[in-house]
Structures are given as C-alpha cells and as structure tokens.
Chain A
Amino acid sequence: MSRIDHRFAALRAQDRTGLITFLTAGDPLPAATVAIMHELVAAGADLIELGVPFSDPMADGPVIQHASERALAHGVELATILGWVREFRQRDATTPIVLMGYLNPVEIHGAARFADAAVAAGVDGILLVDCPIEEAATAAPLREAGLQQILLAAPTTGEERLARICAEAAGFLYYVSFAGITGADRIDVGAVRAHVERLRQWAKVPVAVGFGIRDATSAQAIAAFADAVVIGSALVARLAGAASVDEARARAREFVAPVRAALDAGTHARQERHQSN
C-alpha cells in the first residue's frame, strides 16, 4: 500500500477529513522549504503538495505565479526539489508527498529518469496540470516507476469522461471546485457538493476538493462532503514575504492550526450526531 493510500485509509478509520497543503518549492526562501513541510505536518497537514515552479503556469493565478517566479529566481529546479524531499524523509517516513506542476520540466528532464529519482527520494505522487487522460501515455513512465498520478475532475467534465477518470484514478481524485485559476474566490459550496456527490457513483478513490478554499470556514464547509480539502494559494500568500526560516515556520503553523481545528470540530460534530441517532 502506498503512503497516500495508507494515509487515506487511516483518515477513514478515524472519520477525519484530510488536509492537503500546497506550497511552492523554494518559496519564500529555499532554505525554509523542508522546515515548512515539517511544520505543516506538525500543525495538522495530512499530505503535502509540493509545487514545482514553471516559467509559464497557465492554470495558476497571480499568487502562485509570483511564488514560481521567486523560486525560479532562486535557481530552484527538479533536482533541488528532490533533494528537499530526501531531506524531509529523514525525519518523516509517513506523510505522503505529491509533486504538482507542469509537464515541460519533467519532459526535458526525461520522464523515466525523473520518476526513478523521485521515487528514490521519497515522492509518492505526481499531479501534472497540463497532462489530461488523453495524454496519459506521456505520463506512463512515471506510473511505471511507482508514482501515483493524481487526476483531476472539473465542473466542466462530462459524465462519460468522469467515469473514465474515476476508473483510472490512483491515490485520490482532485476535484477542481470551479472553472478558473488557482487562488480565485468563486467557490459555490452547494454546487461543489452536488458535483462531488455525483462523482461518488464512480470514484473508487478518496475525493479531495481544491481551488477557492482559503481558511477554516471554507475548509469546514467543504469537509462536510469531501474526503480531503486542498489549500494552496492562501497558504502561499501567507508565507510570501517571510524574512527568515523561523518566520516562515511560524506563519505556516498559524495558518494551518485553525484549519485543522475546524476540520476536527466538524468531525466531532458528525460523530456526536451519529451517537445521538
């Protein structure tokens, strides 16, 4: 069982909603990335998405665009990021790590060569924003090396295609809560709920919801029906400008702790309802 599958099984056993946190690798300070990852876990993150910076992040809003630009200015590349994952694994053997990014850096690195290095470093999954199932052959070497390819579904995804995506999904399915870019403020909880409930008829893996979740309140609202929530831009924005490793860690902790508390409060409320029934 992979780390991702293991983590979701444990969450399910405890009736807890998973918290997935995204940070752009190397931002705000390259020296802070591993420290922030540990801090996120300590504050309650269940899975870490590590953003691989790309020069042309077409699906990202300004917050992650600028984080990518800063990371690139610091010379961050795939090899650097795999080094950080290796370092993280020395103290944390269980928290799943998913790399999230765009195809070109992986292609240029060589998909098979990259995948072997990523697995050896302790990476569990990969989410390629610009690699839909039609182009799955491109990502085949990644899956063959043992990385779980995280697939996305969107509000525009039709039923036939949803069924196909669900059949091919591994690890978890990432449901994009609205048609838009990361960091936008357009989430409609009722609509997301309807979509996720529709997805459930096909999904064999846990469903995580991302895009537009920015704080404890929005996370709790989505947690009522999702297996996990993803928080990205809001955390990246909070970390931006931290002047030291300690400041970045403190910001990460302060951001994540209330979200974790809200998710757990939701779990408790659910359990009490079950008991009183």
Chain B
Amino acid sequence: MPSNPATAPSAVIDYNQFPDSSGRFGAYGGSFVAETLIAPLAELSAAYQRLRRDAAFCAEFEHDLKHYVGRPSPIYHAQRLSRQVGGAQILLKREDLNHTGAHKINNTIGQAMVARAMGKRRVIAETGAGQHGVATATVCARFGLDCVVYMGATDIERQKINVYRMKLLGAQVVPVTAGSRTLKDALNEAMRDWVSNVADTFYIIGTVAGPHPYPQMVRDFNAVVGREARAQMLEQFGRLPDVITACVGGGSNAIGLFHAFLNDAQVRIVGAEAAGEGLATGRHAASLAAGRPGVLHGNRTYVLCDDGGQITETHSVSAGLDYPGVGPEHAFLKDSGRAEYVGVTDAEALAAFHQLARSEGILAALESSHAVAQAIKLAQDLPPDRLVLCNLSGRGDKDVHTIAAREGIAL
C-alpha cells in the first residue's frame, strides 16, 4: 500500500477557521436578508455560538445521536461492487442506516435542541423530496414542538408518501403554489413565515445554505459524519481514504463528510452534482459545475440563473438535489481548489442505483446514487490498493415509485 500518513502535512489554508465572524467563507456566505431578519439571525447566532461550546448541550446531542439516531453509522467495504468495477476499493459510509433513513436527522436534532434552548415552541421547515420535512417532523414530535412544513405543490404531488409520513408525525404540511412550486419556492415561503412570526418561531433549514449562521450550524451538526468516518478509516484500514465523494444539492451530507478531511491535503475531495439530462442540455441542477456566483436565499454562492439574474428552474431525477443554489462553503472549496465538483447524470445515477442494489443488496436514495456513480468512476481509474470513500447519505425506499415509473412499471 502507498504511504498515506494519518497526519496531514501543514495545509496552506486552515479550513477550520471558516466561516469568519460575519459568516463568510472567503467571498461566499454572509447575511443577505431583509432588515427584519437581522436581529433574529443575530439572536440565533449568539445562542448557537454559546451552545456549541456548552458541555451539557454537546453531551445531549451526542447521546441522542447514539441512542435515537443509531450512530455511529458503519463504513461498509463494498467488495463485490469493487470487484465488478475492477479498480480501487469502494467504501460506503452508511448514513442510510440512521433513524428516518438519511443524514438529515443529524441536523434536525441539533436545531430542535437550539430551538428548545431559545424557548421557541413553533418550528417551520422547507422540504423538497420530503426527507428534511420528515426528519424535522420526527424531532418535533419527540421534543413536543409544533411543526409546519412548507413544500412545493409539485413536490407534494410527487412525494405523497413522505407527505403522509409528516402528517402521521403530527406536522402540518403547507403546499406552496408560487414560482416553480418546488424546493426553492418552499424555502421562500418558509422565510416569509419566519419574518412574520419571528418572536415564537424557529426555522430549521435543511441544508448548508441560507443566511449566517445556518451554513455553519447545519455543517457542524452533520460534521459527525466525517469525524466518525475519519476515525473509522484509521481503525478499520489503518489509513485515510485516497478519495472521498458525496452528492451535492444544497450540500449538507457532502460538507458533513468533507469537513473533517479538509485539512488532510492528501485526501482528494470530489462532489457529485446532479447533471440531470446532461450539462449541455440546460436541464440539470449543477450550480457549481455550470452556475455562477450570485445571491440567493440569504447568501452569496454559485447559483443557476439567466443573464437577467432570474433563478432558473432545475432538473434532476432526484428531488433532493433539485436546487438552483448550493451551500457557500462548497462555493469557497471550489474556488480554492480544495474540492472538485463534477456532474453525474440521471442515467448514470440510475445505473449506479441498480448496480449497487444487485451487487451489495443496498437500495440507495437517488441522491446518494449520484455519489455511488461518482465513486465507481473514480475507482475505475485507480489501482486496487486505493480506497474511495463514498457517503451513502440516504436509503432508496422513498424512490421506489419514481424508479418504477421511469421504467414503465405500474406498481
């Protein structure tokens, strides 16, 4: 095996120093919001900066991650898949085994605890595919908080089972009929609710986007993924992976995995964005690979927009990646060159979904299937003694109907 010391050479940039006190990751991030939200965001930021250093808060978070979520999630060596691919070893970080079936709950538990500490009794959230909505409804049920989830009318139609799951958990699901009636519009509507009810309401954003401190807070709660994975790699394989990869929509599972490895300069980092029907077709959701710097949903980041600055509609087979922006830390990592971001098409993701199902007996979420496809591509070009770690961010049960419909099968 090639030498791959666990201790990183001194990095040019210390990636732990971001964001700065104004919420910036280099040129990205910030607080581009209406004046009314400045004070509530400052209040949230102050509460969060205090809580993240509070030993009791951190202990309770760790306790819940272990006993409620079921952490740590294992790293699984996909040996049959690796042999089929015929290159490097593919390792899967099994976030799909968490309670509610994805990484999303790491963040919603953390934010619900912040809401409780701030005395807020009402929680709102936005959701696209419904995974963040379900994870929010779940923790609200557990913490006894009122829960309202905004969801695009188009997504409600596409994700009926998750809508019903949220209702079973006691949440109110509000259809959003503005704009393209999808995730970005649900986020707009949740912001409008928040600005109208700031006194008693806590907004649990589901990804590493939004105004400061959300990109930091959501990252910190998901960073357990990478911290665990780094320790597991050293324990199980005696070294760090050569490459790590994850799918990137807003980017919360990706930053969760990447963050603990940012200062390990020898670990290559690759984010897989949704290239939909192909970057050249314009029908995709690859903000980093094909977008440009702009301002959306309270932060400066890469966005997909037209020459007039209007946000464009995105496309992906995976609703969870169907978002025209991306977390500002990813924008910063792209520009700094620390991470690479590449497009994976619908077809490539579906092929990877099937290959993983047949070779390993794992149904991955369509979002995570983009990461699996990218891991396969990376492994193909590497010798068998190399290690590719892929974040399997969620399970695919929710996508069974979508896949059947695409393949012309009536269930």
Q: Which residue on A lies nearest to B198, using beta carbons?
A: A179
When chains A and B are docked, how far (Å) is the Cα of A105 from the Cα of B311? 9
**Chain B residues with CB below 8 A from A106, complex form:** 309
Which of B36, B40, B178, B310 is close to A65, meaning CB atoms less than 8 Å apart?
B178
**Contacts A54-B310, A179-B198, A180-B196 known; A104 to B294 CB distance under 8 Å?**
yes
A56 pairs with B35, CB closer than 8 A:
no
**Chain B residues with CB below 8 A from A156, complex form:** 35-40, 198
A179 pairs with B195, CB closer than 8 A:
yes
Q: Which residues between 282 and 304 of chain B lie within 8 Å of chain A, taking CB atoms?
A: 292-298, 303
Which of B198, B292, B310 is close to A55, meaning CB atoms less than 8 Å apart?
B310
B196 pairs with A179, CB closer than 8 A:
yes
When chains A and B are docked, how far (Å) is the Cα of A102 from the Cα of B191? 15
Which of A62, A109, A180 is close to B178, meaning CB atoms less than 8 Å apart?
A62
Q: Select the stretch in A1-9, A125-133, A187-195, A237-245 that faces chain B.
A: A125-133
Q: How far is the CB of A80 from chain B (nearest CB, A)?
A: 9
- Asked if B111 is at the interface of the complex by the 8 Å CB criterion, the answer is no
Of A104, A135, A151, A176, the most chain B CB neighbours within 10 A belong to A104
Which of B32, B307, B310 is close to A130, meaning CB atoms less than 8 Å apart?
B32
A134 pairs with B30, CB closer than 8 A:
yes
- Asked if B179 is at the interface of the complex by the 8 Å CB criterion, the answer is yes
A181 pairs with B311, CB closer than 8 A:
no
Q: How far is the CB of B27 from chain A (nearest CB, A)?
A: 11
- Asked if A152 is at the interface of the complex by the 8 Å CB criterion, the answer is yes
Q: Which residue on A lies nearest to B177, using beta carbons?
A: A62
**Chain A residues with CB below 8 A from B184, complex form:** 56
When chains A and B are docked, how far (Å) is the Cα of A57 from the Cα of B295? 12
**Chain A residues with CB below 8 A from B34, complex form:** 58-59, 129-130, 132, 152, 154, 176
When chains A and B are docked, how far (Å) is the Cα of A102 from the Cα of B37? 15
- Asked if B160 is at the interface of the complex by the 8 Å CB criterion, the answer is no
Which of A57, A107, A179 is close to B294, meaning CB atoms less than 8 Å apart?
A107
B294 pairs with A108, CB closer than 8 A:
yes
**Contacts A132-B31, A134-B30 known; A104 to B198 CB distance under 8 Å?**
no
B188 pairs with A58, CB closer than 8 A:
yes
Contact with B along A94-130 (1 / 0, CB 8 A): 0000000011111111000000000000000000011
A59 pairs with B297, CB closer than 8 A:
no
**Contacts A58-B297, A179-B198 known; A152 to B35 CB distance under 8 Å?**
yes
When chains A and B are docked, how far (Å) is the Cα of A96 from the Cα of B339? 48
A176 pairs with B39, CB closer than 8 A:
no
- Asked if A184 is at the interface of the complex by the 8 Å CB criterion, the answer is yes
Number of A-B residue pairs, CB cutoff 8 Å, is 126
Q: Which residue on B lies nearest to A62, using beta carbons?
A: B178
When chains A and B are docked, how far (Å) is the Cα of A156 from the Cα of B30? 19
**Contacts A56-B311, A72-B310, A179-B196 known; A135 to B35 CB distance under 8 Å?**
no
**Contacts A56-B184, A56-B297, A59-B195 known; A109 to B35 CB distance under 8 Å?**
no
Q: How far is the CB of A108 from chain B (nearest CB, A)?
A: 4
A157 pairs with B39, CB closer than 8 A:
yes
When chains A and B are docked, how far (Å) is the Cα of A275 from the Cα of B186? 56
B296 pairs with A132, CB closer than 8 A:
no
When chains A and B are docked, how far (Å) is the Cα of A130 from the Cα of B295? 9
A181 pairs with B309, CB closer than 8 A:
no
**Contacts A55-B310, A132-B33 known; A181 to B39 CB distance under 8 Å?**
no
Contact with A along B172-201 (1 / 0, CB 8 A): 000000110000110010011001101100
Q: How far is the CB of A265 from chain B (nearest CB, A)?
A: 32
Q: How far is the CB of A38 from chain B (nearest CB, A)?
A: 26
- Asked if A168 is at the interface of the complex by the 8 Å CB criterion, the answer is no
When chains A and B are docked, how far (Å) is the Cα of A69 from the Cα of B294? 20
When chains A and B are docked, how far (Å) is the Cα of A157 from the Cα of B298? 18
Which of B22, B36, B179, B191 is close to A179, meaning CB atoms less than 8 Å apart?
B36
Q: How far is the CB of A129 from chain B (nearest CB, A)?
A: 5
Contact with B along A52-73 (1 / 0, CB 8 A): 0011111111100110010010
- Asked if B305 is at the interface of the complex by the 8 Å CB criterion, the answer is yes
Q: How far is the CB of B400 from chain A (nearest CB, A)?
A: 32
When chains A and B are docked, how far (Å) is the Cα of A158 from the Cα of B42? 11
When chains A and B are docked, how far (Å) is the Cα of A213 from the Cα of B303? 35
**Chain A residues with CB below 8 A from B31, complex form:** 132, 134-135
Contact with B along A221-235 (1 / 0, CB 8 A): 000000000000000
Of A60, A154, A184, the most chain B CB neighbours within 10 A belong to A154
Of A72, A107, A129, the most chain B CB neighbours within 10 A belong to A107
A57 pairs with B298, CB closer than 8 A:
no
B192 pairs with A176, CB closer than 8 A:
no
Q: Which residue on B lies nearest to A137, using beta carbons?
A: B30
**Chain A residues with CB below 8 A from B188, complex form:** 56-58
When chains A and B are docked, how far (Å) is the Cα of A153 from the Cα of B39? 11
When chains A and B are docked, how far (Å) is the Cα of A64 from the Cα of B311? 17
- Asked if A77 is at the interface of the complex by the 8 Å CB criterion, the answer is yes
**Chain A residues with CB below 8 A from B195, complex form:** 59, 179-181
**Contacts A65-B178, A108-B309, A135-B30 known; A103 to B295 CB distance under 8 Å?**
yes
- Asked if B408 is at the interface of the complex by the 8 Å CB criterion, the answer is no
When chains A and B are docked, how far (Å) is the Cα of A267 from the Cα of B305? 47
- Asked if B308 is at the interface of the complex by the 8 Å CB criterion, the answer is yes
**Chain A residues with CB below 8 A from B199, complex form:** 179
**Chain B residues with CB below 8 A from A59, complex form:** 34, 36, 191-192, 195
The 8 A-B residue pairs with the shortest CB-CB distance, nearest first, are: A105-B309, A108-B309, A77-B308, A154-B36, A156-B39, A180-B196, A152-B35, A55-B310
Given contacts A62-B178, A104-B309, A105-B310, 17 further A-B contacts (CB under 8 A): A54-B310, A55-B305, A55-B312, A56-B188, A72-B310, A106-B309, A107-B294, A109-B309, A129-B34, A130-B32, A154-B34, A156-B37, A176-B34, A179-B196, A180-B36, A180-B196, A181-B196
A-B contact pairs, 7 of them (CB 8 A): A55-B305, A77-B310, A130-B295, A132-B33, A132-B34, A132-B35, A134-B30
